[in-house]
Amino acid sequence: MAKKETEKVDLKELSFSQSVSYYFDKAAPFTKAPNGLLEQIKACNSIYKMNFPVKFGSDVKVIEAYRVQHSHHRMPTKGGIRYSLHVDQDEVMALAALMTYKCAIVDVPFGGAKGGIKISPRNTPPEVLEAVTRRYTTELIKKNFIGPGLDVPAPDYGTGEKEMAIIMDTYMTMKPGDVDGYACVTGKPVSQNGIHGRTEATGRGVVYALAQVCSYKDDMKKLGLEVGLDGKRVIIQGLGNVGFHTANIIKEYGAKVIAIAEMEGAIYNEKGFDAKEVLAHRKATGSILNFPGAKNIKNSSHALELDCDILIPAALEKQITELNAPNIKAKIVAEAANGPVTPAAEAILLKKGVVIIPDIYINAGGVTVSYFEWLKNLSHVRFGRMQKRFEEKAQRNMIDLVESITGQKASRAQIEKVIHGADEIDLVNSGLEDTMIKAYHDIREFYKSEKNLKDLRTAAFAVSINKIKDAYYAMGIFP
């Protein structure tokens, strides 16, 4: 089955991009792909590093920025742009590679890409951030690194709807005749040709994925857990976009978020938290600490080691390492962030019987709904516009028919419950849920079919590589 054993490496010394390559090499023997094709899939195709000056008050600062296109097996390439002082080439390359594998797993027809600007969004005036965003976009346009059919950015750590609207405006200013120009970026405000449901998409996808993972009785029995999310005790690291929406939505499934960790510390309450209330408290006080009824934990990393059923790291990479992995008590670790568990930590967790739901699957909700937004922009029509009223009329006719046959009248409340044509948000959430269910089915089926497979991450990488391999075969490049 395997061509060769994965070379022995010191897992503690791997950089982020080396970690991604390690996972790739671990999965490669299960794919039966030729070595030459594996090397092509693994390599980053294009790396663009740029430096440009921006006026910062009375001073001028040189900004370091990147855009990496990992794979052109499908076009356009797709991936977020992050603003952080920790941005470097290795990080952006790793994230771009993860995007390639992520898109393949959820059957989104994009190659992977990623961007990064070395700047602190918290400590930079809004007018400077806008200038940086516009200049970065201009540099991408000059090199053909952005466009509806070339490369489509999206939000990431430190960016959001505002930055995406600025990118779109800059692109449309320089490309005024591009009728599909709104599709040059996703994650835009709904008022600026965005799509309903994109903001919460990654968090909602995490919950859909967890619901599917926890739906298998045999799998849960091995972990000593009941089927479903109801009653599950959850710890979430990070109350940003992904963490907040995960915490808010998972509550609807009956789970309890018993601890939330952030930069300033963590809070704990066995009865569970309402994410909206915690976020409101943080906005009012500047911290999640001292939330009414909660126990403060000064060192936020200690919250990850508390007893729980599901641990969701939704912040940054390398949060669970060989140092704290032995103390992790969760039965399931769901990688809502990119690369939060290091290879060295993963080896420890797997020996303990912990199930790790890999990032390239579980946080793919964002790119899935970005795909829907891209399709919406290319079709120039809101989802649901063509069929909503037709569906409602058809449902009304069905109720009239049933009433005429039975001689009984439905109440207004019953009618309103039945008659509902799909709005854009309904279609987006339905498509996202179907995507996450199917993707996990593919991963789990492959995992069960290979007796030598020991973890879901390797299975997910193998599934992804096989799908990319098939795309190359379809091109006729490899016989």
Peptide bond into 340 cis (omega under 30): no
Active-site residue identified among 78, 114, 232, 376: 114
At 253, list the tokens: 């499934």
DSSP string, 279-302: HHHHHHHSSSTT-TTPEEESSHHH
Matching residue, tokens 């915490």: 247
Q: Is 102 a catalytic residue?
A: no
Q: Is 412 exposed, middle or buried (0-12, 13-18, 19+ CB in 10 A)?
A: exposed
How far, in Å, CA of 214 to CA of 309, rounded?
A: 11
How far, in Å, CA of 191 to CA of 165, rounded?
A: 10
DSSP string, 414-430: HHHHH--PPPHHHHHHH
In whole angstroms, how far apart are CA 180 and each of 185, 273, 376?
A: 11, 43, 10
How far, in Å, CA of 130 to CA of 325, rounded?
A: 40
Angle at 467 between CA 355 and CA 470, to 5 degrees: 155
Angle at 29 between CA 10 and CA 351, to 5 degrees: 50
> Which residues belong to the active site?
114
